[in-house]
């Protein structure tokens, strides 16, 4: 059995790096990433699981970091936008109007990245099911859908 | 062979940082020694504050200061000073800030705010704008007559009317006498919110030398500086506003938001930096949102469908404080008829206080509301005339020589509305606007709306730009325009590149604005930045170019007329192989290394609004500004079993003068359409009997999600704006204007009913088909509001 | 951001979890079992829930298994909805779970968490109501097995300190026909204003969420469904058997809900009878 007091020392594996740090047991993963580790790509835009702006990947699955405690994810692989470098989906967002203000972008990109890994083949229903977890207020979603298509195309061409 | 970037999709200047999540918004800034604020807000919508007990809260760990309204009872407001940073004596809406705590951590501040006890005595509620405007209605602002305000608005003392704008064109009585057909309709739009993804955030500090430094999420850093200077009597030179890019603005981050309160809190802790970061709930309820509106309209026309008269009563519901809504109601009066030629117009546009969360500038600036009213009226009229609604609009579409409600004469270069209407209809396959059965339970129908918007900006507001050339020949573009997501800074870089005939890659722009170092910019609002800053950038780039040409002219000992430039060099027209690179000219190297000058080339440019905008307080007669014309049309599919529906296709055709960056332009248009679709179909604040908001979170305040959007069909018509940069005019918010009307028109056509209230949820559609007794029709009576901090 | 503090415990067996709960309850007022956490944390932000200690059950293997055992399938209470959806063991479960929250949240929301939710919807119980599910509950005196329908009445009737360990369903429900009708105010990611699940196996059975302040089914309603009466008469009879006054809130009036409910029963019934 593992027990943490109100303030505890834990070890997190974020973007492949291990990091020991003191947190409150009540600290969300989002708060720890942003305030303790300086990883501010994920945003606190609702802190209620509604908007997806804080999405990170936990063991390759998209999760909303605002509704997870940091103490829960000790030892698990956490990927934030800062750990994503020059991927097809990022390039696609850049070239296809996938963002405007950029605030929802890290969450969308991480969710889409996980989606492309889990479902390399196009399937509109699945795309919608996954990406409905995030809110974008600027693009009307047109550019985001175009970006996803473009990334799929790049990946298919890349793997040929 | 020369670079030209106008009209091309250039990768955004802020792009790489945004896809990597490394761009910093205000809340991403960390500072050593920052303290955190939490705000205690009102649970009542109208009440006298009997007592505030902060004793227990002030003893909690980490608490550094607690402020209440009495500590600094100033009044703020851009046009009408009516709002204290913290409520004084009474609260006027659910969510109004009453006290603020500063503590070492946000958690400690929040825990202390939880312990502040406030006693209220309830006051009668003012629920809707129409009733609120009546004599004898309970007053929200007993001292309205004593408030200070700008002379462009007209508050009525001892009432809830914060502004009253009148339009009197022609003779309304004879207009209706000459009408064969008259229709009347009442309409309403509830209040809502911008719900920008970035909640408002401000960090304020007073440094030891007295400099007030504020990092804030604002669309108007220079205005924030000016207002703070006025409110707190601090010299402008003692205030520095630093405004990083915004996570969306949509009007909601214009004017003063959290800045005054943050400054007061910093002052309360000896100038230490204090951060206020709105939670989503606070951003939706405590901070400003979108106003509501009620309207009653009468339209009269001849049997042939020629509009003769329009009598328009607009009640803008600004909520508890007036903010920008006094100007929104005025803007709506100026454009009150929509883009139609109507000889006789009578319009009263009121801005009215109610006990609801207060509104501010919002994408569309009142035009979406007036358009909803007029365009529903046009469809009702078309039905009565037995005429295709598109034809009715084409007959009355405003054109050169026609006059606006303020008696301005439209000019050829104002754009071509008929072409917009025809193209929008074509794009969704209009076919007489009839209904089509898909199967036993499914109907398709179309709806259309014309739109127009004036860039209503005071005279002498302006923009400035500096273009400096570095020793490598690359260019730095300095301007005070805010990056909100709209990409204006990228478009401005394109404009600078175009003037200098260099690649946009060689133009650097700076995303954060700092009022100490950025050239003055009036405000990034009203879709005017590209127009105004664009003109300033052209002038600055031309100035820099002239200096380069001067150096070359000296060097070649030839008059400038004999020189040409392009591709990063100046060359001799007659002998293009004689040339000198910008790099050398900028570095002052001259030819063969002989120094010609070591001074950096710095080009200056500015632009002042030349279009005067003042209207007569009794008749509305005045001079207009730049109009953007357009049309929008949608096709909907309705299931008549459960009354769910989908907007299948939405078309927008606007005359934007000139498209500077097609990708950015389309992005702005599509984004505006999506937001307006939310306003039309899902977005509204829901209230209980006590006017507490029941849906103050993103779980319950419903915005569009992926998969719910239509197929967007966007086209631009380019009738150049004679004085616009490369002929361009604003387009950022115009596409929001016609969508709610078009959707309501399509659904009304599909169901054969008149849908005059937003949002158009399935139940509203069902109810229009099967009306109920009034007592049963009240949907929302009970409900527990979300607990606020 | 949660402004109060608590201790966090992650036991590795059911016994540890239960005994910790009992022991800690003697010292602390507010001890909570914690599974996916999505609801507890969103409530904690607004002080709608407060806790001194939370006991995370996600590291307990028994609560995490998805296992075929004889003729039954066992679902651990701490399995996420997506884990169950991806295995697609029973189409009915997959269909219902896909409607809950959004895809990303379903990577955290667990079966047990949704059953024990404080919100009125608890849609995960609908299939359990229709499939004669059994559940195992651990308490001070060990683990007991109960029929889901006998222990779920508006909410799960378990004692303080008891822990929902798992749920099991007979495999034979795999081939049963069903019809899911889920209506929302607008949009797709939302709580339902009506959710009807109807299942056909040795007759018809129905379960409802979003209609009242709790999910429900009833023998009486099922009896009417199988009564072979005229469909209009059947619907009217069912309306009289709804165990409460149809809900009215900001998302729908009771009139609209009632209209949707009638239409939903009709179309589910027609759909399954024609099959």
For B675-733, how does the pLDDT look when each residue is reduced to its tens digit (9 = 90+)?
999 999 999 999 999 999 999 999 999 999 999 999 999 999 998 887 778 888 878 78
Q: Is C230 domain-assigned?
A: yes
Find the mean pLDDT for residues B350-364: 97
| Whether C153 and C182 share a structural domain | no
pLDDT at B2: 58
Of B38, B36, B161, B44, give the one whose Cα is nearest residue B96.
Answer: B44
Indicate if the pLDDT at residue B62 is higher than 50: yes
Min mean pLDDT across A91-105, B324-338, B621-635, C189-203 is at B621-635
C47, C48, C187: best to mutate for the B interface, most B CBs within 10 A: C187
pLDDT at B630: 96
Indicate if the pLDDT at residue B11 is higher than 90: no
Q: Establish, for the pair of chains A and C, how many residue pairs have beta carbons separated by less than 8 Å.
A: 97
The strand ranges marked E within B279-417 are 289-290, 292-301, 307-319, 344-353, 359-360
**Chain C residue at shortest CA distance from B765:** C256
For A48-90, how does the pLDDT look when each residue is reduced to its tens digit (9 = 90+)?
999 999 999 999 999 999 999 999 999 999 999 999 999 999 9
Residues from chain B contacting residue A44 (CB–CB below 8 Å) = 27, 199, 277
For B767-781, how does the pLDDT look when each residue is reduced to its tens digit (9 = 90+)?
998 876 543 443 433
Q: CA B58, CA B535: separation in Å to the nearest integer? A: 53
Q: CA B586, CA B583: separation in Å to the nearest integer? A: 5
| φ and ψ at residue C17, rounded to 5 degrees | -60, -50
Find the mean pLDDT for residues A123-142: 96
Smallest CA–CA distance, residue A70 to chain B, in Å, is: 16
Stronger pLDDT, B606 or B661, i.e. the higher one: B606
Regarding the domain delimited by B15-21+460-608, which CATH topology (the fold level of the hierarchy) does it fall under?
Aldehyde Oxidoreductase; domain 4 (3.30.365)
Do the beta carbons of residue B530 and residue B730 sit within 8 Å? yes
Look over chain C and give the mean of its residue pLDDT values, rounded to a whole number.
Answer: 95
Q: Does domain B289-457+613-777 have CATH number 3.30.365.10?
A: yes
For B218-256, how does the pLDDT look when each residue is reduced to its tens digit (9 = 90+)?
999 999 999 999 999 999 999 999 999 999 999 999 999
First to last CA, chain A: 48
Indicate if the pLDDT at residue C75 is higher than 60: yes
- In the block, residue with structure tokens 């606020």: B788
- The widest CA-to-CA distance across chain B, in whole angstroms, is 92
Q: CA B687, CA A21: separation in Å to the nearest integer? A: 44
Find the mean pLDDT for residues B742-746: 98
Residues from chain A contacting residue C110 (CB–CB below 8 Å) = none
Interchain contact, A129 vs C12, CB within 8 Å:
no
CATH, residue C103: 3.30.465.10
Q: Establish, for the pair of chains A and B, how many residue pairs have beta carbons separated by less than 8 Å.
A: 162
- How much is the CA Rg of chain C, to the nearest whole Å? 19
Indicate if the pLDDT at residue B625 is higher than 80: no
Do the beta carbons of residue B394 and residue B422 sit within 8 Å? yes
Do the beta carbons of residue B5 and residue B541 sit within 8 Å? no
pLDDT at B461: 75
- Is A123 an 8 Å CB contact of chain B? no
Q: CA B436, CA B428: separation in Å to the nearest integer? A: 13
For B502-546, how does the pLDDT look when each residue is reduced to its tens digit (9 = 90+)?
999 999 999 999 999 999 988 887 777 788 889 999 999 999 999
Min mean pLDDT across B148-152, B317-321, C48-52, C120-124 is at B148-152
Q: Is C120 domain-assigned?
A: yes
Do the beta carbons of residue B435 and residue B567 sit within 8 Å? no
Q: CA B284, CA B698: separation in Å to the nearest integer? A: 9
- Is B41 an 8 Å CB contact of chain C? no
pLDDT at B462: 82
- Please give the ipTM for the structure prediction: 0.97
Indicate if the pLDDT at residue B787 is higher than 70: no
Look over chain B and give the mean of its residue pLDDT values, rounded to a whole number.
Answer: 92
Interchain contact, B705 vs A132, CB within 8 Å:
yes
**Chain A residue at shortest CA distance from B661:** A97
Residues from chain C contacting residue A67 (CB–CB below 8 Å) = 37-38, 41-42, 105, 108
Q: CA B743, CA B750: separation in Å to the nearest integer? A: 10
Smallest CA–CA distance, residue A9 to chain B, in Å, is: 19
pLDDT at B259: 97
- How much is the CA Rg of chain A, to the nearest whole Å? 16
For C46-58, how does the pLDDT look when each residue is reduced to its tens digit (9 = 90+)?
889 999 999 999 9
Percentage of chain C beyond pLDDT 70 is 99
Q: CA C138, CA C150: separation in Å to the nearest integer? A: 17
User: For the sheet containing B627-639, what is the strand order?
Assistant: B435-439, B442-454, B627-639, B645-655, B711-717
Architecture of domain B31-123+200-277: Alpha-Beta Complex (3.90)
Percentage of chain B beyond pLDDT 70 is 95
- Is A56 an 8 Å CB contact of chain B? no
pLDDT at B567: 87
Interchain contact, B22 vs A44, CB within 8 Å:
no
Indicate if the pLDDT at residue C262 is higher than 70: yes
Instruction: Name residues 48-67 of chain C within 8 A of B (Cβ).
Output: 48
Instruction: Name residues 131-160 of chain A within 8 A of B (Cβ).
Output: 131-132, 134-145
Residue from the list B111, B682, B694 with its beta carbon closest to the beta carbon of C3: B111
**Chain C residue at shortest CA distance from A62:** C104
Q: Is C1 domain-assigned?
A: no
Alpha-helical runs (H) found in B504-581: 529-556
For C83-121, how does the pLDDT look when each residue is reduced to its tens digit (9 = 90+)?
999 999 999 999 999 999 999 999 999 999 999 999 999
C-beta neighbour count of A154 within 10 angstroms:
17
Token duo for residue B426: 């074509």
- Is B762 an 8 Å CB contact of chain C? yes
Interchain contact, B197 vs A41, CB within 8 Å:
no
C101, C251, C266: best to mutate for the B interface, most B CBs within 10 A: C251
Buried b (16+ CB within 10 A) or exposed e, A51-74: bbbbbbbbeebbbbbbbbbbbbbe
What is the reported pTM? 0.96
Token duo for residue B310: 């329009």
| Whether C120 and C193 share a structural domain | no
pLDDT at A74: 94
| Whether C118 and C168 share a structural domain | yes
Subunits adjacent to chain C (3 or more Cβ pairs under 8 Å):
A, B
For B425-456, how does the pLDDT look when each residue is reduced to its tens digit (9 = 90+)?
999 999 877 899 999 999 999 999 999 988 76
Q: CA C205, CA C272: separation in Å to the nearest integer? A: 11
Residues from chain B contacting residue A79 (CB–CB below 8 Å) = none
Indicate if the pLDDT at residue B458 is higher than 70: no
pLDDT tier at B788 (50, 70, 90 boundaries)?
Answer: very low
Smallest CA–CA distance, residue A83 to chain C, in Å, is: 19
pLDDT at B431: 81
Q: Is the dihedral of CA B48, B49, B51, B53 positive or negative?
A: positive
- Give chain C's domain count: 3
| Cα–Cα separations (whole angstroms), residue A135 to A52, A106, B54, B148, B699 | 6, 12, 38, 41, 11
Of A64, A132, B678, B763, give the one whose Cα is nearest residue C188.
Answer: A132
Interchain contact, C104 vs A2, CB within 8 Å:
no
Q: CA C33, CA C43: separation in Å to the nearest integer? A: 14
Percentage of chain A beyond pLDDT 70 is 99
| Whether C190 and C268 share a structural domain | yes
**Chain C residue at shortest CA distance from A52:** C104
Torsion angle defined by CA atoms of residues B356, B358, B362 and B364, in that order, rounded to the nearest 10 degrees? 60
* Residue numbers of the domain that contains C244: 176-274
Residue from the list A4, A28, A132 with its beta carbon closest to the beta carbon of C102: A132
- Is A87 an 8 Å CB contact of chain B? no
Find the mean pLDDT for residues B299-326: 97
DSSP string, B654-672: EE-S--S-HHHHHHHHHHH
Residue from the list C1, C260, C267 with its beta carbon closest to the beta carbon of B107: C1
C-beta neighbour count of B302 within 10 angstroms:
14
**In 3-state terms, what secondary structure has residue A71?**
helix
- Tell me the sheet residues that pair with B359: B289
| Cα–Cα separations (whole angstroms), residue B751 to B636, B647, B748, C47, C204 | 11, 15, 5, 45, 35
Percentage of chain B beyond pLDDT 90 is 80
Interchain contact, A109 vs B707, CB within 8 Å:
no
**Are B15-21+460-608 and B289-457+613-777 equal in CATH topology?**
yes
Angle between helices A142-159 and A124-131 (to 10 degrees): 120
- In the block, residue with structure tokens 């509109």: A124
Buried b (16+ CB within 10 A) or exposed e, B547-559: bbbebbbebbeee
| Whether C251 and C197 share a structural domain | yes
- Tell me the sheet residues that pair with C208: C196, C216
Residues from chain B contacting residue C267 (CB–CB below 8 Å) = 641
Of B645, B649, B663, B631, give the one whose Cα is nearest residue B711.
Answer: B649
Buried b (16+ CB within 10 A) or exposed e, C139-175: beeebeebebbebbeebbebeebbbbbbbbbbeebee
Q: CA C211, CA B450: separation in Å to the nearest integer? A: 42
C-beta neighbour count of B656 within 10 angstroms:
29
Interchain contact, C1 vs B110, CB within 8 Å:
yes
Find the mean pLDDT for residues C160-166: 97
Indicate if the pLDDT at residue C257 is higher than 70: yes
Could you tell me the domains of chain A? 7-83 (3.10.20.30), 88-159 (1.10.150.120)
Buried b (16+ CB within 10 A) or exposed e, B495-513: bbbbbbbbebebbebebbb
| Whether C65 and C89 share a structural domain | yes
| Whether C123 and C22 share a structural domain | no
For chain B, what are the domain ranges? 15-21+460-608, 31-123+200-277, 289-457+613-777
| φ and ψ at residue B142, rounded to 5 degrees | -60, -30
Residues from chain A contacting residue C6 (CB–CB below 8 Å) = 6, 25-26
- Is A52 an 8 Å CB contact of chain B? no
Q: CA B694, CA C249: separation in Å to the nearest integer? A: 10
Indicate if the pLDDT at residue B783 is higher than 60: no
pLDDT at C1: 87
Domain end, chosen from C143, C173, C203, is at C173
| Whether C124 and C193 share a structural domain | no
Interchain contact, C259 vs B766, CB within 8 Å:
yes
pLDDT at B723: 77
**In 3-state terms, what secondary structure has residue B540?**
helix
pLDDT at B612: 60
Q: Which positions ≥6 away from B26 have C-beta within 8 Å?
A: B201, B202, B203, B215, B216, B217, B244
| Whether C151 and C215 share a structural domain | no
């Amino acid at each position: 059995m593992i027990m943490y007091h109100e303030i505890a020392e834990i070890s997190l594996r974020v973007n492949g790096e291990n990091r020991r740090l003191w947190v409150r047991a009540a600290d969300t993963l989002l708060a720890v990433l942003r305030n303790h580790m300086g990883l501010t790509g994920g945003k606190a835009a609702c802190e209620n699981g509604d908007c997806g702006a804080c999405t990170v990947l936990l063991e390759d699955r998209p999760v909303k970091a605002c509704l997870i405690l940091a103490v829960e994810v000790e030892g698990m692989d956490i990927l934030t936008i800062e750990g994503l470098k020059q991927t097809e989906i990022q390039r696609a967002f850049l070239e296809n109007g996938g963002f405007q203000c950029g605030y929802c972008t890290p969450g969308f990109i991480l969710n889409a990245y996980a989606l492309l890994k889990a479902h390399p083949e196009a399937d509109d229903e699945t795309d919608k099911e996954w990406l409905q977890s995030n809110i974008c207020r600027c693009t009307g979603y047109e550019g985001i859908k175009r970006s996803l298509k473009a990334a799929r195309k790049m990946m298919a061409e890349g793997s040929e | 062979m020369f670079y030209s970037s106008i009209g091309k999709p250039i990768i955004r200047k802020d792009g790489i940082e945004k896809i990597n999540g490394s761009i910093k918004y205000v809340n991403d800034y960390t500072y050593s020694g920052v303290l955190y604020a939490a705000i205690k807000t009102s649970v009542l919508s109208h009440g006298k504050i009997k007592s505030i007990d902060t004793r227990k809260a002030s003893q909690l760990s980490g608490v550094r200061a607690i402020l209440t309204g009495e500590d600094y009872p100033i009044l703020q407001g851009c046009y009408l000073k009516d709002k204290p940073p913290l409520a004084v004596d009474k609260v006027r809406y659910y969510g109004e800030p009453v006290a603020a705590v500063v503590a070492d951590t946000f958690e400690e501040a929040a825990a202390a705010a939880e312990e502040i006890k406030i006693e209220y005595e309830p006051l009668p509620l003012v629920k809707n704008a129409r009733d609120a405007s009546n004599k004898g209605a309970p007053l929200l602002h007993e001292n309205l007559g004593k408030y200070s305000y700008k002379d462009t608005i007209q508050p009525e003392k001892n009432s809830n009317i914060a502004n009253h704008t009148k339009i009197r064109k022609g003779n309304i009585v004879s207009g209706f006498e000459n009408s064969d057909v008259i229709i009347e309709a009442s309409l309403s739009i509830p209040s809502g919110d911008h719900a920008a993804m970035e909640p408002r955030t401000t960090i304020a500090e007073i440094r030891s030398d007295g400099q007030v430094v504020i990092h804030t999420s604002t669309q108007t850093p220079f205005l924030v500086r000016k207002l703070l200077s006025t409110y707190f009597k601090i010299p402008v030179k003692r205030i520095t506003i630093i405004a990083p890019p915004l996570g969306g603005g949509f009007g909601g981050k214009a004017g003063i938001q959290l800045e005054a309160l943050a400054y007061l809190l910093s002052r309360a802790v000896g100038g230490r930096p204090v951060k206020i970061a709105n939670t989503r709930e606070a951003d939706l309820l405590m901070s400003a949102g979108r106003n509501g509106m009620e309207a009653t309209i009468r339209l009269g026309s001849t049997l042939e469908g020629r509009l003769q008269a329009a009598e328009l009563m607009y009640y803008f519901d600004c909520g508890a404080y007036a903010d920008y809504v006094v100007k929104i109601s005025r803007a709506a009066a100026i454009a009150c008829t929509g883009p139609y030629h109507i000889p006789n117009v009578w319009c009263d546009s009121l801005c009215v206080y109610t006990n609801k969360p207060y509104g501010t500038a919002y994408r569309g600036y009142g035009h979406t509301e007036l358009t909803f009213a007029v365009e529903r009226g046009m469809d009702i009229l078309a039905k009565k005339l037995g005429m295709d609604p598109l034809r009715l609009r084409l007959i009355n579409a405003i054109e050169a020589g026609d006059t606006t409600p303020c008696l301005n004469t439209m000019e050829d270069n104002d754009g071509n509305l008929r072409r917009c209407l025809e193209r929008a209809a074509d794009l969704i396959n209009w076919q007489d606007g009839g209904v089509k059965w898909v199967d036993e339970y499914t109907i398709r129908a179309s709806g259309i709306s014309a739109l127009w918007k004036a860039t209503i900006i005071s005279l002498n507001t302006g923009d400035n730009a500096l273009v400096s050339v570095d020793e490598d020949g690359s260019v730095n573009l300095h301007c005070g325009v805010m990056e909100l997501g709209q990409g204006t800074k990228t478009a401005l870089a394109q404009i600078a590149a175009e003037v200098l005939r260099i690649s946009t890659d060689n133009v650097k722009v700076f995303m954060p604005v700092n009022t100490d170092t950025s050239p003055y910019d009036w405000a990034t609002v009203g879709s005017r930045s590209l127009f105004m800053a664009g003109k300033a950038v052209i002038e600055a780039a031309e100035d820099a170019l002239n200096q380069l040409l001067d150096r070359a002219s000296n060097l070649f000992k030839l008059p400038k007329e004999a020189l040409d430039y392009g591709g990063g060099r100046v060359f001799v027209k007659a002998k293009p192989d004689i040339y000198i690179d910008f790099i050398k000219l900028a570095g002052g190297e001259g030819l063969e290394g002989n120094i010609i000058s070591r001074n950096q080339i710095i080009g200056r440019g500015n632009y002042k609004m030349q279009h005067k905008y003042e209207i007569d307080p009794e008749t509305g007669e005045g001079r207009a500004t730049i109009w953007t014309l357009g049309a929008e049309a949608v096709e909907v599919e309705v299931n008549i079993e459960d009354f769910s529906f989908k907007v299948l296709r939405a078309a927008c055709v606007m005359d934007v003068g000139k498209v500077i960056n097609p990708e950015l332009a389309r992005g702005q248009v599509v984004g505006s359409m999506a937001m307006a679709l939310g306003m039309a179909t899902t977005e509204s604040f829901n209230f209980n009997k006590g006017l507490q908001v029941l849906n103050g979170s993103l779980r319950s305040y419903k915005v569009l999600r992926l998969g719910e959007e239509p197929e967007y069909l966007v086209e631009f018509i380019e009738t150049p704006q004679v004085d616009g940069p490369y002929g361009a005019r604003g387009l950022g918010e115009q596409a929001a204007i016609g969508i709610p009307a078009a959707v309501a028109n399509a659904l009304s056509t599909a169901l054969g009913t008149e849908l005059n209230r937003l949002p158009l949820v399935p139940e509203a559609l069902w109810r229009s088909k099967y009306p109920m007794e009034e007592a049963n029709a009240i949907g929302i009576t009970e409900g527990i509001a979300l607990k606020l901090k | 951001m949660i402004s109060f503090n608590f201790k966090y415990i992650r036991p590795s067996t059911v016994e540890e979890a239960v005994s910790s709960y009992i022991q800690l309850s003697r010292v602390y007022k507010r001890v909570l079992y914690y599974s996916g956490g999505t609801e507890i944390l969103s409530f904690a932000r607004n002080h709608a829930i407060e806790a001194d200690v939370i006991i995370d059950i996600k590291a307990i293997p028994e609560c995490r298994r998805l296992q075929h055992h004889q003729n039954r399938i066992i679902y651990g209470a701490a399995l996420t909805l997506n884990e169950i959806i991806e295995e697609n063991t029973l189409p009915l479960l997959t269909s219902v779970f896909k409607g809950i929250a959004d895809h990303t949240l379903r990577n955290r929301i667990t079966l047990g968490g949704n059953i024990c939710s404080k919100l009125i919807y608890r849609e995960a119980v609908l299939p359990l109501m229709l499939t004669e599910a059994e559940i195992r509950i651990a308490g001070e005196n060990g683990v007991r097995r109960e029929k889901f329908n006998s222990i779920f009445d508006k909410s799960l009737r378990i004692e303080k300190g008891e822990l929902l360990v798992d749920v099991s369903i007979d495999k034979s429900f795999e081939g049963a026909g069903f019809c899911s009708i889920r209506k929302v105010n607008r949009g797709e990611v939302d709580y339902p204003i009506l959710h009807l699940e109807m299942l056909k196996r040795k007759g018809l059975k129905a379960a409802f969420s979003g209609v009242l302040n709790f999910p429900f089914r009833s023998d009486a309603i099922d009896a009417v469904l199988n009564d072979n009466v005229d469909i209009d008469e059947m619907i009217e009879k069912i309306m009289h058997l709804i165990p409460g006054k149809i809900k009215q809130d900001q998302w729908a009036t009771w009139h609209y809900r009632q209209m949707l409910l009638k239409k939903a029963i009709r179309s589910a019934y027609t759909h399954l009878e024609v099959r």
